[in-house]
Homo-oligomer: A and B are copies of this chain.
Amino acid sequence: EEPPQPTPGDPYAEDPPRHPALKINTLKPFNAEPPSELLTENYLTPSQLFFKRNHLPVPVVDPATYRLHVRDARGRTLSLSLRDLKRNFPKHKVTATVQCAGNRRAEMNAIQNTNRLGWGIGAISTACWGGARLRDVLVHAGYKPSDEGHVSFEGLDKEPNGTVYGASIPFKKAMDPEGDVLLAYEMNGEELPRDHGFPLRVVVPGIVGARNVKWLAQISVGPEESKSHWQQKDYKGFSPAVTWDTVDFSKAPAIQELPVQSAITEPCPNASITPGELTVKGYAWSGGGQSIVRVDVSLDGGKSWHVAKLAGEEQAPGRAWAWKLWQLEAIVPPGTKELNIVCKAVDSNYNQQPDKVGPIWNILGVLNNAWHQVSVSVGED
């Protein structure tokens, strides 16, 4: 099979090749997720299968001439090469899950279409990230832990009009010795792939994907959040009562830490199973370093519950950045016609997931963490 020929002048012509198993949401920009059943095959998502969420074309970067620009505390601009970042700052590794705010938007679109990317349950993945601590770089740039405000990031990815991707995080998170924010040049023990920000990206454990800026060009610190579209006019949560006619973006905080989440990766929706042993699998995660303490699974739509077995890296309290995979071994009695499988997770603050999607639906289609439901039919043995 011939690869598609690039259109002349196509800004996406230089995008990298991708794994054929990915379920593509949009090709340009490239937005794709792994199929559910591959998502929980590995605790660390293979980088090729890790969900891709690009807002713009993937920039072509020469690592030899690449420079990170950091506005320092005295208003000067530091210019750091990749070599500087690797040599002058200790390398730190963090296993962290990244989730797009739009994960599971398809379930919201099914209620009322938001006309935005219809992510399934796969806009979430986990990797071991390696890089310099943002904190160390900020200290090198003359900032003090007692400083305040926000740390803004700009990417090398550009709109045709020159607008670059941007986002910010609170200075306190950036500077927290236990916040584990990285300027990552490594993903799962290898050089960062182009789709994930080569040669350098921000990894902000516990915080929505949108702040984990890829192809990092510039860092600055100031009293206000990033002025970018993506910080100011997107990635915020609204009431189901808010419409495009009534929305006031200044009224909702930019999403940072994400709420407790879980989903069923096996069996697949509408699968046909047989009576007898059934394995139900999924993932569970919570933002802000909260750990997952329990996952409840129901086979009857939420009437009765079972406690799933959790697996995954043990991380320190308040620094549980990575998901837990879970599994339930159940017996499906003969004569069963269908199962309505439901999961819900509980985190270390004992926050739980809301039951239904409708009451948390919002115009941006973000933050869907309602119970995940999968119906399957049961055939003859």
- Interface of A toward B, CB cutoff 8 Å: 170, 172, 237, 239-242, 252-253, 255-260, 287-288, 293-294, 296, 302, 304-307, 317-318, 344, 346, 348-356, 358-360, 367, 369
CA distance A174 to B355 in the complex (A): 35
Interface of A (DSSP majority class): loop
Can you offer 13 A-B residue contacts whose CB atoms are under 8 A? A172-B318, A237-B293, A239-B305, A239-B307, A240-B304, A241-B296, A241-B307, A259-B351, A288-B349, A344-B359, A350-B367, A355-B355, A355-B359
Of listed A170, A259, A304, A349, residue having the most chain B CB within 10 A: A349
* Other-chain contact of A259, B242, B253, B305, B350 (Cβ < 8 Å): B350
Bound together, the chains give a CA A355 to CA B256 distance in angstroms of 24
Instruction: List chain B residues, Cβ under 8 A from A353.
Output: 354
Q: Within 8 Å CB of A305, what residues of B?
A: 239-241, 359
CB <8 Å contact, B354 and A260? no
Residues of the B chain whose Cβ atoms lie less than 8 Å from the Cβ of A354: 344, 352-355
Given known A-B contacts A241-B307, A305-B241, A307-B241, A258 and B349 have beta carbons under 8 A apart: yes
- Interface contact B239-A317, CB-CB below 8 Å: no
Residue pair A252, B351 in contact (C-beta under 8 Å): no
The answer for the CA separation of A241 and B352 in the assembled complex, in Å, is: 15
Q: How far is the CB of A318 from chain B (nearest CB, A)?
A: 7
How many copies of the shown chain assemble into the complex?
2
Please indicate the chain B residues that have their CB under 8 angstroms from the CB of A259 in the complex: 349-352
Q: Contacts of A367 on B, CB cut-off 8 Å?
A: 350
Please name 8 further chain A to chain B contacts, defined as beta carbons within 8 Å, in addition to the given A241-B307, A255-B350, sorted by A numbering. Answer: A241-B304, A241-B305, A241-B306, A256-B349, A288-B349, A344-B354, A350-B367, A354-B354
> Cβ of B359 and Cβ of A302 under 8 Å apart?
yes
Most buried by B among A239, A242, A255, A287: A239
CB distance from A280 to the nearest CB of B (A): 14
**For residue A303, which residue of chain B has the nearest CB?**
B358
User: Considering the chains assembled together, what is the distance between the CA atoms of A287 and B290 in angstroms?
Assistant: 13
Residues of B within 8 A of A258 (CB): 349-350
A252 to B310, CA, bound (A): 13
Q: Give 7 nearest A-B pairs by CB, closest first.
A: A355-B355, A259-B351, A241-B305, A257-B349, A351-B351, A352-B354, A237-B350
| Contact of A239 with B348 in the complex, beta carbons under 8 Å | no
* A299 CB to nearest chain B CB (Å): 12
Nearest Cβ on chain B to A118's Cβ, whole angstroms = 20
Residue of B nearest to A360 (CB): B352
Chain B, residue nearest A298 (CB):
B359
Which of B296, B351, B358 is close to A239, meaning CB atoms less than 8 Å apart?
Answer: B296
